Chains A and B, each alone.
Chain A
Amino acid sequence: MWQTILRRILIMIPQIILVSILIFMLAQLMPGDPFYGNLNPNSDPATIERLRHAAGLDLPWYQQYFKWIGNVLHGDLGTSYVVNKGWTVTRIIGQRIWPTLSMGIIATILTYFLAITQALVSARNENKWIDRTFIVWNTMTSAVPSFVFYFIMMVLFVYIIPVFPSSGTGIDDTQSFFVNFFSNLRYAFLPALTIALFSTNSIYQYLRSNLLDQQAQDYVRTARAKGVQIKDVFRKHILRNAFLPIASQIGYSITGVLGGAMFAETVFGYPGIGALFVQALSGRDYTVITAVMLLQGILALLGGLLSDIISAWVDPRIRVK
């Protein structure tokens, strides 16, 4: 088992290199550079050229890449040109990552909780009104763009019924961890709940059909033939088998945390990585863009690894030696 995990981690090294090259090239392909929007259009072209030269932007891409990756390996992700001008990217990300993580974890837990509850109720009441209600709800949330719901939730719970704060993370660097933890909860909860409410559909649909499939399996008949009551068959046999493929998805859902946060953080004015990415994109702050994308890439690979480990852990059939 440990050998397999170690091997998987080693395989990740070339994957990360590949991802970093891809990200770097994507950033290069973006039109314009940080100086275009921020300089006085009347600046002397020679001055711009000098600035670009100083930033190394006139070098061929591969040289820029090696310079960049070399710095990355030393923990230097460069300096922001736009978002927090002059700050190191490491510092910006360091500040922004905790709110995103806390919101992401809460959102993930809530998503699974809501999706699983809905799927269980649906599967036990197939084709009854409650099942149909959940189906309609989940179809609707997958059909309508999520930011529409985000605005509705925002208006509803911040302005009409003001139970949640409107913007910020509730984190104050001068306060202790515990104070920050609880104050952040208040700020993170609404965006997290909103993400969760509207992203249950894929897990819900998958789990619901899984549960229904599993109910028709032969081993269910065996359990019934032993004299096990239907509800116990459900609890002891069907659930675990139906959850199996979902469990392995949990790893991948980590990857979705950053992506899902982009809209939510922007709409709710919650300054995390997602909001940072949106800001950086619009400002072409490409040191920040590449750093966030790299982070996302690494998270995706880690998520895949985590998924594999979870599958091997919960399914005796794919247990590795």
Chain B
Amino acid sequence: MNEKILDSKNVSVSFRINGELQTALHKISVSIKRGEVLALVGESGSGKSTLAMSIMGLHNAEQTEVTGSITLDGHELIGLTERQFDQYRGVRVGMIFQDPLSSLNPLMKIGEQISEAIVVHDKNAPNLKGHVQRLLTDVGIINPKRVAQQYPHELSGGMRQRVMIAIALSNEPDLIIADEPTTALDATIQAQILDLIKEIQLKKNAGILLITHDLGVVAETADTVAVMYAGQIVEQADVEELFANPKHPYTRSLLRADPSNVSPGEELYAISGTVPALKDMDHSKDLFLQRIPWLSDDVVNATIDEELEVVGDNHFVRGNAWKTFEFLDVTEKGHAK
């Protein structure tokens, strides 16, 4: 059960913008085992979705350069042709997106949209209707017959996301990528969808790549976590270890910025500045340090090791700043309580 279903090594992604190659993702190495949920967490612009799109081969080939290696169950994905990618998208990898309303074709019945995912890979799929209804039942839809005949706008947000999950599951994939699957949903529905994802993880024994910006979602769902900033992984650890023992300044800053982790009397830690633009990303440095005002220029501009440092059992941190980092305003009390 410990086989790596997804293994990415030194994946870099660059976009050609105005004729110039700009690096959005720099040497990302992550792996997912069967039955494991890996959460990629970071703010917008961190490159989490870029990695997902590279695994799916959904980048515009003319404007994107992907290097490194991504293997799925041992098969190399980088360098596949469009047609070869079509062979395994939806079969070996299923994907769930953020906004289930816009992600479903408004003019197609739910049943058709699910059966398309099956038929596209097997024209003579037997008992299609039964298969669709079984999938809908699997994702917790009580009246699958009726739902299959409905259009996306006739369903609630939670139901639509269940349908998206049914589509992702339709060919029993080895890997499921969920890109912010609950961000557009209400809290109770979010909890239901996360529980469903956990249930699928147990039942289907697929690997799950969960992309989110929400630390609560990570804590509830992930087995391992990779924290991303500006196209790089800054810290990676098992979920318990990460929340109990965060090392990198970015991880610690995020935890202190989360209102559900800070008592109302205390001030939230507001990270200053913004994520650098793609063209300003110098990946030989720890880019997050620019956003800590009290650090000296020497520390901020120091060139750091490309490899993440092993700081514990399956716990990796980028750079050296974490060794001495302290919040300037107050001590780090109250965090991760």
Contact = CB atoms under 8 A, between A and B. Distances in A.
Interface in B89-112: 89-91, 93-95, 97, 99, 102-108
Q: Which of B82, B104, B105 has the most CB of A within 10 A?
A: B105
B302 interface: no
A237 interface: yes
Interface string B163-199: 0100110100000000000000000000000000000
Interface size class of A (residues with CB under 8 A): 20 to 34
B301 interface: no
A234 B88 CA distance: 20
B120 interface: yes
A237 B108 CA distance: 8
Contacts, number: 75
Interface in A211-244: 217-219, 221-230, 232, 236-237, 240-241, 244
Interface residues of B, number: 32
Interface string B112-130: 0000110011000000000
A289 B117 CA distance: 59
Nearest to A214: B105
Contact of B103 (A218, A229, A241): A218
A240 to B, nearest CB: 5
Interface string A156-168: 0000000000000
A41 interface: no
B117 A219 contact: no
B116 A223 contact: yes
B209 to A, nearest CB: 13
Contact of B153 (A222, A223, A228, A317): A317
Contacts of A240: 107
Contact of B107 (A228, A232, A244): A244
A316 B95 contact: no
8 contacts: A225-B58, A225-B89, A225-B94, A226-B90, A229-B86, A237-B108, A241-B106, A314-B107
Interface of A: 217-219, 221-230, 232, 236-237, 240-241, 244, 314-317
Given A218-B102, A225-B93, A315-B107, 10 more contacts: A223-B116, A225-B56, A225-B168, A226-B89, A227-B86, A227-B89, A227-B120, A241-B106, A316-B151, A317-B106
